[in-house]
Amino acid sequence: MRPLMAGLAGSKIREVANAGLGRPDVLAFWFGESDQVTGEALRQVAAESLMRGETFYSHNLGLPELREALRRYTAALHGDPGEGRIAVTSAGVSGLMLASQMLLDAGDEVVVVTPVWPNLPAQPAIMGARVRRVPLAPDVHGAWRLDLGQLLAAITPDTRMLLVNSPNNPSGWTLGRGEQQAILDHCRRTGTWIVADEVYERLWFADPATEGATPLTARSAPSFLDIAGPDDRLVVVHSFSKSFLMTGWRLGWMVLPRGHLDAMGTLIEYNTSCAPVFVQRGAIEALAQAEVTVPRLVDHLRRCRDTLCGALAGLPGVRLATPAGGMYAFLALEGASDSLALAKRLVTDHGLGLAPGVAFGHEAEGWLRWCFASQDPDRLLKGVERLERALPL
């Protein structure tokens, strides 16, 4: 085994979930997925594809029909990326790994904005890159903020890649347009690739009336695609998992600069070769329905967010800000220092399953992440009652 394998940490969220194994009474909000099943029409289309016998290998880069549907979907949100820039991947996690494989040699420097979903810094590390973390910091109200000057100072001509996830899992922090422009301008000067994880872009709750949304930001969080040109060193990674309730389908896509698609197809050949055809058929249907289903999901998630954050704000010693994007409430409890031990205790003693902040980096030690993508908002309130019973810590 390569020596770095020994340093690959297991998931601390799984560690908490294991503490609740075999306990049907636990209210679990630890994983990043909705408890709602994928829409029936999508399942039907995929089932029909299987029954037609679409069980064979297909194109490395995805079905041409799906790639064309993704180009049109992207064009409607961010402006037309043009031909030859979209690759279908086996979910977002594979798209992110492919980006690291495409860009990194051992020893390269990667800057990552943290706290963040742990796979992001782990993947470049697997490639042998040196990962530097640039932490967000919470304000007194629990809203996480970027020190833009600190981030730009960390990105030098020696920085091969910047990895940034916005809207952010776990904190809900979202890059503003001005910050995005400053980062893009800076990375153009240093020659640094931006790998933007925008899988939560549609789970965006900004009120267009009050938050200065433009037609480009009304339906989606600000994206690097809104401001970058086709030759910028930018890879945007997307997923069908979150906005289309398709976590188990394992499908995503990436938008690449002009001229990189053929090489990416070759790289996909050596990873997964292609995504299953019946899964891609379901995805074409998901895109056809997107402007009906996604706004409906966002309305529901907004209700979930407001229900949960409203109830949590009423508890003593809780610090949290209402997130503008994503599907997580991220909270700090007065007196909490060891979030892993606390999360395990909440499971075993109170039947409440939350993700420990430390799973997303030491910057988030003492915090807890609560996924509010619940079909029934009352389930969230039951969870809050359980948390209340655990207080004060």
Ligand X SMILES: Cc1ncc(COP(=O)(O)O)c(C=O)c1O
Site string for ligand X, 16-35 (x = CB under 6 A): ----------------x---
What is the distance between the alpha carbons of residues 176 and 134, in angstroms, rounded to a whole number?
17
Nearest C-alpha neighbor of 202 from the set 144, 247, 245: 245
Binds ligand X by CB under 6 A, chosen from 197, 201, 285, 363: 197
Contact by Cβ (8 Å): 345, 20: no
- Binding segment for ligand X (CB under 6 A), chosen from 75-83, 87-95, 156-164, 367-375, is 87-95
- 249: DSSP letter: G
Per-residue buried b or exposed e for 48-84, using 16+ beta carbons within 10 Å of the residue's own CB: ebeeeebeeebbbbbbeebbebbbebbeebbeebeeb
Q: Is 117 in the site for ligand X (CB under 6 A)?
A: yes
Q: Rank residues 89 and 339 by Cβ distance to ligand X and give the closer one.
A: 89
Tokens of 301: 């998630």
The Cα 360–Cα 367 span in angstroms is: 10
Instruction: State in angstroms the smallest separation of the CB of 162 from ligand X.
Output: 15
Nearer to ligand X, 20 or 32 (CB): 32
For 56, 328, 373, the CA distances from 297, given in Å and listed in that order, are 33, 15, 9
247 lies in the binding site for ligand X (CB under 6 A) = yes
Kindly state the smallest distance separating residue 8's Cβ from ligand X, in Å. 18
Q: Using the rule CB under 6 A, is 123 a contact of ligand X?
A: no
To ligand X, the closest distance from the beta carbon of 157 in angstroms equals: 27
Q: In Å, how far from its chain's centre is CA 360?
A: 12
241 lies in the binding site for ligand X (CB under 6 A): yes
Q: Which of 169, 217, 223, 307 binds ligand X (CB under 6 A)?
A: 169
Minimum distance from residue 93 beta carbon to ligand X (Å) = 3
Assess 198 for contact with ligand X (CB under 6 A).
Answer: no
**Of 69-77, 88-96, 132-140, 294-302, which part binds ligand X (CB under 6 A)?**
88-96
Of the ranges 19-27, 85-93, 139-147, 289-297, which one interacts with ligand X (CB under 6 A)? 85-93
CB 286 within 8 A of CB 293: yes
Nearer to ligand X, 112 or 346 (CB): 112
Q: How far is the CB of 265 from ligand X (least distance, A)?
A: 19
Q: How far apart are CA 77 and CA 282, in angstroms?
A: 21
325 near ligand X (CB under 6 A): no
252 scored as a contact of ligand X (CB under 6 A): yes
92 binds ligand X (CB under 6 A): yes
Pure H helices in the chain = 3-6, 12-19, 40-51, 64-78, 91-103, 119-126, 148-154, 177-190, 261-271, 277-313, 339-350, 377-390
Name the site residues for ligand X (rule: CB under 6 A): 32, 91-93, 117, 165, 169, 197, 199, 239, 241, 247, 252
